[in-house]
């Protein structure tokens, strides 16, 4: 087992248990239940034939640093559909990030709802009006800004006609959409060469909140983010991205009969399970 890779998992375990402790300390029974699931998700790791590790029993929580929530399952269908989409699409692939002003953690939930609505009800509608169709995949994400505030934003990949962005700036469309809802918008976009599309889409579809060690010192931010992202659908797609998505039944996931539970969280790091348990699994 590669020590650098194992160290990365030790960091994930530390953060998962740190987050679980913060949620468990709340008065909220839902958060306390999520804390138990996060801790159990980080407890046992399964080793796959390719040497990768994953939680033996994934909790599926959107903020879980161990299993990454349902992200992998959702990401796979769109990644697997990309080759056919690229073959069929005669135009540009554009990666864009749509932002608004940072907000206090207290206002995060309502702001996420607002930018989701601005993107779907105004930006996409304008895109559809101009092109007749809107081929997009979008991901809602939250990071913590240096001032401690929440930075909600949307990453998106768009399949557009050639040079379309030269004719009408996406910034203008986002600003028009945002102004209707009284928010201060910004957008960064760039064309993506075909060879980079898969890597870019993986980046776009990353976890809606990546918790780091520094955030553990700010329990109020963790609690607000955990509550704000709960029950929200952070990924959605339309047009060609949905048309070419490969459903899960056609893309078998890595879990198979050779997978074995190999590592257990000891409080500070992952250790191989005792020999009695590990021997049934055979060599690494
Ligand atoms: Zn999990």
Q: What class, spelled out in words, does domain 72-248 have in CATH?
A: alpha beta
Q: Is the pLDDT of residue 254 over 60?
A: no
**Ligand 1 centre distance from Cα of residue 61 (Å):** 5
Please tell me the predicted confidence (pLDDT) of residue 74.
Answer: 81
**Ligand 1 centre distance from Cα of residue 265 (Å):** 14
User: Can you tell me which residue has the tokens 């190999």?
Assistant: 262
Burial of 107 (0-12, 13-18, 19+ CB in 10 A): middle
209: closest CA among 14, 19, 9? Answer: 19
Q: Is the pLDDT of residue 181 over 60?
A: no
Please tell me the predicted confidence (pLDDT) of residue 205.
Answer: 93
Locate CATH 3.30.70 in the chain. Answer: 72-248
**Ligand 1 centre distance from Cα of residue 189 (Å):** 32
**Ligand 1 centre distance from Cα of residue 175 (Å):** 37
**Ligand 1 centre distance from Cα of residue 269 (Å):** 17
Give the number of other Cβ atoms within 10 Å of residue 58's Cβ: 20
How does residue 217 score in pLDDT terms, banded at 50, 70 and 90? very high
What average pLDDT does this structure show over 218-229?
Answer: 95
Please tell me the predicted confidence (pLDDT) of residue 101.
Answer: 86
What is the pLDDT of the chain when averaged over all its residues? 86
pLDDT tens digits for range 134-155: 999 999 999 999 999 999 999 9
Please tell me the predicted confidence (pLDDT) of residue 153.
Answer: 94
**Ligand 1 centre distance from Cα of residue 69 (Å):** 6
Both tokens assigned to 51 = 């040497």
Q: Which residues surround ligand 1, an ion (CB under 5 A)?
A: 41, 59, 64, 66-67
| Dihedral over Cα of 85, 91, 93, 94: its sign | negative
């Amino acid at each position: 087992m590669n020590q650098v890779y194992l160290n990365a998992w030790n960091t994930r375990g530390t953060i998962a248990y740190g987050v679980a402790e913060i949620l468990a300390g709340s008065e909220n029974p839902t958060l306390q239940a999520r804390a138990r699931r996060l801790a159990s998700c980080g407890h046992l790791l399964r080793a796959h034939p390719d040497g990768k590790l994953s939680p033996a029993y994934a909790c599926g929580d959107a903020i879980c640093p161990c299993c990454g929530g349902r992200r992998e399952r959702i990401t796979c269908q769109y990644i697997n559909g990309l080759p056919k989409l690229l073959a069929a699409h005669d135009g540009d692939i554009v990666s864009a990030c749509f932002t608004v002003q940072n907000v206090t953690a207290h206002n995060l939930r309502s702001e996420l709802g607002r930018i989701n609505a601005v993107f779907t009800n105004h930006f996409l509608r304008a895109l559809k009006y101009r092109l007749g169709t809107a081929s997009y995949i979008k991901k809602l994400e939250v990071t913590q800004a240096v001032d401690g505030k929440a930075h909600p934003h949307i990453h998106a990949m768009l399949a557009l006609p050639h040079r379309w962005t030269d004719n009408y700036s996406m910034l203008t469309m986002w600003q028009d959409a945002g102004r209707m809802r009284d928010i201060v918008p910004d957008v960064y976009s760039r064309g993506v060469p075909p060879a980079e599309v898969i890597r870019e889409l993986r980046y776009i579809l990353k976890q809606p909140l990546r918790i780091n060690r520094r955030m553990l010192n700010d329990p109020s931010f963790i609690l607000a983010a955990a509550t704000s992202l709960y029950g929200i659908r952070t990924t959605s797609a339309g047009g060609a991205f949905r048309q070419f998505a490969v459903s899960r039944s056609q893309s078998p996931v890595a879990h198979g009969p050779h997978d074995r539970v190999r590592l257990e969280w000891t409080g500070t790091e992952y250790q191989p399970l005792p020999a009695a348990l590990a021997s049934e699994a055979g060599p690494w």
